[in-house]
Amino acid sequence: MISPSIDAAAELRAALEDYERTDNMGVLFDRVRALAAAVPPDRLKEACVPFRDRPEVIIPAYERIVSQTPHDAQALVVLANAYWLTGRGPDVVGDLASRAIAADGANRGAWHLWALAESNVRERVARWQQVAQRFPEDQIARAALADNAASLAGAEHDPLALELAIRTYEGLLEESTQPAQRAALETALKTLREWKL
């Protein structure tokens, strides 16, 4: 039953404080689920903002939000990310990410989770290529593409993957203005250029 008088953020804070004292995850989930059933999705999302780094709060809250608003791409991404952080598995995360992409093809978080959720490294490289092509200014996607291509090159002695990794890192280096980032990219490139496949 929806209740307009509930202070959802205070209730979440109290539930989390009790959990931190008792370490009883089941009770925390039950309390968050009960609150989620009593608060509209928009208010629940707002109440969850201070707890976005606490999957034990986000998961039960956003399971309810997603069930109530199944085409809310950002809610799907938040839930998928919480699942990913807790090791829920690539199938569940990939499904939520695909649903989010279908709801909003411009949601980069959905695309990132979709690429991350692929367990086969060669397919993961292909997915990161799609993300990097769709969002060419997304340096995180391009770094993930380079990292995964380097992993593929090392694991399978694949010269094309090595070339892709080097080319992508070079592009990132050209754009980089941060000394620490430039140093890391230069080190990665030096290492990759010395590989003999």
Global confidence as pTM: 0.90
pLDDT at position 157 is 95
Give the separation between CA 156 and CA 175, rounded to whole angstroms. 29
Say if residues 139 and 172 touch (Cβ distance below 8 Å): yes
pLDDT at position 196 is 83
Give the separation between CA 65 and CA 42, rounded to whole angstroms. 8
pLDDT at position 3 is 57
Give the separation between CA 59 and CA 122, rounded to whole angstroms. 30
Show the low-confidence residues of the chain (pLDDT under 70). 1-4
Can you give the residue ranges of every domain in the chain?
121-197
Say if residues 162 and 197 touch (Cβ distance below 8 Å): yes
